[in-house]
Copies of this chain bind each other. A is one copy, B any other.
Amino acid sequence: MVAVVIHWIQLIRHTAYNESMSKRDKSATREKILNAAEDVFSEKGYHDSLMDDIVVASDTSKGGLYFHFPSKETLFMALLDRLAESLLKDVEKEIEKNKGAVAKIQAALEAVMMALSKRRRLAKILLRQGYGLPKFEEKRLEMFDKFASLIERYLEEAVDEGSIPPLNAKITAYAWLGALNELVVRWLFLKEPHPIKESLPALLPLFLRGIGINYVDQ
């Protein structure tokens, strides 16, 4: 008898639940966890962040966390994906505002550095957390690849346009990202030089003259 009532209750509760949860909001819990994870990982780094920290920060529960993400690694990877996607979208938007391959290249470099210097937590996770281990390193390489492809494409366009002489676009893109990365990290941990105020003005001529554009600071 009790069992029947409980079953009935569950039906009712389930319905009530679905009613209160709007369809668009796929999972509020999942988002809460990812947001908390962003806080925690950027603060303490991958290894020193505990699943419990994230549970507390997200105001959810152990079981809930593991329901959405089967492991710490999975959670971290999902976070990397979300951050990279968001960053990439921002950068692409900035690029689209410009016409001409050279202008787009310049816009991309500026946008990447701007985005990272405005979102320290994101930068810390994307650039520094959890690396040294193949599984994460490959993820990072994969993310960098996406940004590199973007730059590569415009470099090749510029060559095609005749705006710059031929070059190894892929290696150029990696080198640039590596340089940006290094300067953002210095700022992240040492607070200087400031990416936008100091690094970028010095970097742009270095980069653009490097590919044969006679860059002149405005």
Residues of A in contact with B (beta carbons under 8 Å apart): 2, 5-6, 9, 12-13, 16, 45-48, 124, 128-134, 137-138, 141, 144, 167-168, 170-172, 174-183, 185-186, 189-190, 193, 198-199, 202-203, 205-207, 209-212
Contact = CB atoms under 8 A, between A and B. Distances in A.
Instruction: Count copies of this chain in the complex.
Output: 4
A89 B176 CA distance: 27
Contact of A206 (B5, B144, B167, B183): B167
A176 to B, nearest CB: 7
Contact of A198 (B144, B171, B190): B171
Given A5-B12, A47-B132, A175-B183, 17 more contacts: A6-B13, A9-B12, A9-B13, A45-B133, A46-B132, A47-B47, A128-B137, A137-B189, A167-B202, A167-B206, A168-B198, A171-B183, A171-B199, A175-B206, A178-B183, A209-B211, A210-B210
A2 B19 CA distance: 12
A212 B209 CA distance: 7
A12 to B, nearest CB: 6
A174 B186 contact: yes
Given A9-B13, A199-B171, A180 B178 contact: yes
B133 A132 contact: no
A152 to B, nearest CB: 13
A209 to B, nearest CB: 5
A172 B198 CA distance: 11
Contacts of A206: 167, 171-172, 175, 210-211
13 contacts: A5-B12, A45-B133, A47-B47, A131-B131, A137-B185, A138-B190, A141-B186, A168-B198, A170-B193, A176-B179, A178-B180, A179-B182, A209-B210
